[in-house]
Amino acid sequence: MKKILLFLTIFSMLLSTGIISAESTITLKTEKIKYPRGIRNVTSVTEVFGTGQQITHIILEFNEKVVNSQLTKNTFTVSDRTVEKIYSNDRPERTDIVKDGRYVIIELNPKDNGASLRLEGNDEVGFQMKKATSKITQKEDILFTNGKKLEKSIAILENNKIRNLIVENFKQFVYKDPKTGTSVKYNLYIPKNYDKNKKYPLVLFMHDMGVLSEDTKTTLLQGNGAISFATPEEQARHEAFVLAPQYSRQVVDDNGDITSDLDATVNLIRDYLLLKYSIDEKKLYATGQSMGGMMAIVMNYKYPELFAASYLVACQWDPKEVSTMAKNNLWITVSTGDVKAYPGMNAITSELIKRGAAVAKDTWRADYTDAQFLEGARKVIAQKSNIKYTTLEKGTNPYLPKDANPGSEHSGTWKVAYNIPGIKDWMFLQAKQ
């Protein structure tokens, strides 16, 4: 008891002095889940897509090597999910080259009705997530390479661990802006092989109003606006820092009101991150959806020399205020069924053209294949213009039901927008002179 009290006292002192931040997590010893003899751990693995976070596969860790050839798609069932593949591996990860090993991978169908961990609700009302719980039943015997066997069982196994791919590679911080007095919680992805002798681009992603939260990681879970820039595939193409602030209050609104969070975010970049890390100030990029896109618009006209390019998704603003960003590099994506963003961006682009901007426009179906999107993006990029304006045709979004309410065309835009090939390539080619 004395040891526990001493630990709590020391921990409180460290917390109060700032040595341990409020974002730190402490792992305490808890009672372990009891599994059948031979099973060590069961891990639910989640990933984030345009539609949000879901459990994509489960990893079972055994004490002995499993004979892969004896596994079938029916060896395990998973409650409320469809099993696609089951195989063993010598590493705790998915693979196309299966082998005997201590790990059994259960891949799940991403199109299952119960795949999403998002609790049902309107994107602009609230954001709640379900716990990443997996319930597994062993339906067939498992054979190990040493001749031992784990017989099938009616017992339901529940995971004792969770891994959040890509999300786990972001670090959480809090920046207190001395100029505004406003604190900004933020997630930061630092390039895997960060070298302070190199210069890296930085991408700022800002979320919509539906993700307002005190939990710093919330913006990483709703959709892939930030995550898509931090995947191994994207980092191999465009190595960059990824900054994703988390706001707990509405920063901008349709009436033109703006809180101090916006300037504090700009100051976070200019006065802190550019000084702390080797970031190329000529290659700063901004993107955001709905409220976050509106913030990007305000930042562009208020600080027109800050960003090399911006990707504006499902947003709008007062066209009378945007004249100073007429020369900026912008890519705009909205749905023609978005009753606010579509007419709003039409008005903005018309105003920017009056101020000397060159605008290239095209309309795409939201259910295009990657190849079709890439072809469309290349056609738009080929046109000499500093502003690219692409619209997604109403009623073609594959993530929306046919009887979807009108507001869904708005939130449905960013379920597609960050998966479109070609746009990120265009963005990273832009640099401030």
Contact 83, 77 (CB under 8 A): yes
Q: How far is residue 193 from each of residues 117, 238, 241, 272, measured CA to CA in Å? A: 31, 13, 11, 21
**Structure-block tokens of residue 163:** 């891994």
Specify the 3-state DSSP secondary structure of 378.
Answer: helix
Mean pLDDT along residues 247-264: 97
Instruction: Give me the residue spans of the domains in the chain.
Output: 39-164, 167-429
Structure tokens at 287: 């993107």
The pLDDT > 70 percentage for the chain reads 91
- Give the pLDDT confidence of 21-43 residue by residue, as tens digits: 333 333 333 346 789 889 999 99
- pLDDT, residue 401, reads 87
Q: pLDDT digit string (tens) for 129-159?
A: 899 999 999 999 999 999 999 999 999 999 9
Q: Tokens 């879901």 identify what position?
A: 54
The pLDDT, as a whole number, for residue 127 is 75
CA atoms of 50 and 412, how far apart (whole Å): 9
Contact 264, 177 (CB under 8 A): yes
pLDDT of 15 over the 90 cut: no
Residue 159 contacts residue 40 (beta carbons within 8 Å):
no
The whole-number average pLDDT for the span 295-311 is 98
- The two tokens of residue 276 are 């702390």
Return contacts of 303-309, CB within 8 angstroms, 24+ apart: 303/266, 304/328, 305/432, 306/266, 306/269, 306/270, 308/282, 308/283, 308/284, 308/430, 308/431, 308/432, 309/285, 309/426, 309/427, 309/430
* CATH 2.40.40.20 correct for 167-429: no
- Would you say 397 and 367 are in contact if contact means Cβ atoms under 8 Å apart? yes
pTM assigned to the model: 0.90
Comparison of pLDDT for 26 and 117, the residue scoring more: 117
pLDDT for residue 309 is more than 80: yes
The string of pLDDT tens digits covering residues 195-220 is: 999 999 999 999 999 999 999 999 99
Buried b (16+ CB within 10 A) or exposed e, 75-98: bbbbeebbbeebbbbeebeeeeeb
Out of 73-77, 125-129, 212-216, 368-372, which region has the weakest mean confidence (pLDDT)?
125-129
CA distances from 375 to 32, 134, 314, 381 (A): 52, 40, 22, 10
> What is the distance between the alpha carbons of residues 182 and 259, in angstroms, rounded to a whole number?
10
**What pLDDT is attached to residue 221?**
96
Average pLDDT (367-381) is 98
Q: What is the pLDDT of residue 128?
A: 82
State the chain's mean pLDDT as an integer.
91
CATH of 39-164, one of 1.10.1660.10, 2.60.40.2180, 2.60.40.10, 3.40.50.300: 2.60.40.2180
Strand-strand pairing, 279-289 and 200-206: parallel
Q: What is the rounded end-to-end Cα distance, in angstroms, of the chain?
A: 63
| pLDDT attached to residue 32 | 62
